[in-house]
Amino acid sequence: MASEAEIKIGQVDDVQELHRAGLETVPDRYIRDGDDRPGGDNVCALAHIPVIDVGELTRDDELNKLRLACEEWGFFQVVNHGIEDELLDEMEKLAREFFMLPLEEKEKYPMAPGGIQGYGHAFVFSEDQKLDWCNMLALGVEPAFIRQPKLWPTTPAKFKETLEKYSVEIRGLCRRLLAHIAETLGLAPGTFGDLFGEAVQAVRMNFYPPCPRPELVLGLSAHSDGSAVTVLQQDMSCAGLQVIKDGAWVPVHPIPHALVINLGDSLEASEIDSPWFLSGAAMGIRAWLTDQQALAAHARAQVLTNGRYRSVEHRAVTNSEQDRLSVVTFYAPAYDVELGPLPEFVTDEAPCRYRRFNHGEYSRHYVTRRLEGKKTLEFAKINQITTAAPEELCSCK
Ligand code: OGA
Ligand code: NI
Q: How many Å lie between the centroid of ligand 2 and the Cα of residue 264?
A: 8
| pLDDT reported for residue 97 | 98
Give the residue, out of 314, 315, 323, 372, with the most ligand 1 atoms within 8 A of its beta carbon, to mutate for a pocket test.
314
Which amino acid is present at 156?
P
Pocket of ligand 1 (CB under 6 A): 204, 206, 220, 225, 234, 240-241, 314, 316, 326, 328
Q: How many Å lie between the centroid of ligand 1 and the Cα of residue 373?
A: 13
Residues with CB under 5 A from ligand 2 (ion): 225
| pLDDT reported for residue 120 | 86
- Within 256-372, residue ranges assigned H as helices are 280-285, 291-303, 359-367
Instruction: State yes or no: pLDDT of 237 exceeds 60.
Output: yes
Report cis status (omega within 30 of 0) of the bond before 149: no
| pLDDT reported for residue 56 | 98
Task: With CA atoms as reference, report the closest residue to 79 among 172, 173, 171, 164.
Answer: 173
Mean pLDDT is lowest, of 6-10, 63-67, 149-153, 377-381, for 377-381
| pLDDT reported for residue 172 | 98
CB 135 within 8 A of CB 16: yes
Instruction: State yes or no: pLDDT of 288 exceeds 60.
Output: no
| pLDDT reported for residue 377 | 54
Answer with the residue of higher pLDDT: 83 or 25.
Answer: 83
Collapsed DSSP state (helix, strand, coil) of residue 328: strand
CB 140 within 8 A of CB 360: no
Residue 335 banded pLDDT, cuts 50, 70, 90: confident
pLDDT per residue over 41-55, tens digit each?
788 888 999 999 999
Residue 228 banded pLDDT, cuts 50, 70, 90: confident
Q: Which secondary structure element, helix H or strand E, spans residue 72, and what is its range?
A: helix 60-72
Greatest extent of the chain over all pairs of C-alpha atoms, in Å = 64
Give the residue, out of 116, 117, 232, with the most ligand 1 atoms within 8 A of its beta carbon, to mutate for a pocket test.
232
Q: How many Å lie between the centroid of ligand 2 and the Cα of residue 204?
A: 10
Ligand nearest 237 Cα, by number? Answer: 1
Minimum-distance ligand 1 atom for the alpha carbon of 208: 10
Q: What is the mean pLDDT of residues 260-287?
A: 47
Alpha-carbon distance of 292 to 299, in angstroms, equals: 11
pLDDT per residue over 166-217, tens digit each?
999 999 999 999 999 989 888 789 888 887 889 999 999 999 999 999 999 9
Sheet containing 229-234: give its strands across.
Answer: 51-53, 75-79, 259-263, 229-234, 324-332, 200-208, 135-142, 118-120
Q: How many Å lie between the centroid of ligand 2 and the Cα of residue 195?
A: 23
Instruction: Establish how many alpha carbons lie within 13 A of residue 111's alpha carbon, considering only the half-sphere containing its beta carbon.
Output: 24
| pLDDT reported for residue 286 | 29
| pLDDT reported for residue 395 | 32
CB 349 within 8 A of CB 343: no
- Nearest residue (CA) to ligand 1, atom 1: 328
What percent of the chain has a predicted confidence (pLDDT) above 90?
49
Instruction: State yes or no: pLDDT of 253 exceeds 60.
Output: yes
CB 312 within 8 A of CB 69: no
Q: What is the mean pLDDT of residues 376-395?
A: 41
Q: What is the mean pLDDT of residues 42-69?
A: 94
Give the residue, out of 75, 116, 241, 372, with the most ligand 1 atoms within 8 A of its beta carbon, to mutate for a pocket test.
241
Instruction: State yes or no: pLDDT of 162 exceeds 70.
Output: yes
What percent of the chain has a predicted confidence (pLDDT) above 70?
70
| pLDDT reported for residue 226 | 78
| pLDDT reported for residue 217 | 95
| pLDDT reported for residue 244 | 93
